[in-house]
Amino acid sequence: GRVEPGFPVQLVVDAHGDRRFDGQVLAVEPVVDPATRNFTVRARLPNPDGLLSGGQFARVTLLLPGAESVLAVPRTAIDYSSYGASVYVVQPRSGATAGELEVIQRFVRLGEARGDFVAVAEGLKPDERVATSGLLKLRNQQPVSIDNSNPPQPSLSPSLPNT
- Residue 121: predicted pLDDT: 92
- Residue 163: predicted pLDDT: 55
Cα–Cα distances in Å, from 87 out to 15, 126, 147, 151?
40, 13, 18, 17
- Residue 159: predicted pLDDT: 75
Distance CA 23, CA 36 (A): 25
- Residue 80: predicted pLDDT: 93
Residue 2: left if φ>0, alpha if ψ -120 to 50, beta else—which one?
A: alpha
Contact 153, 159 (CB under 8 A): no
pLDDT digits (tens, 9 = 90+) for 29-40: 988 989 998 889
- Residue 27: predicted pLDDT: 93
Contact 60, 10 (CB under 8 A): yes
pLDDT along the chain (163 residues), means of 10: 87 83 92 89 89 86 80 93 94 81 94 90 93 91 88 80 65
Distance CA 99, CA 125 (A): 21
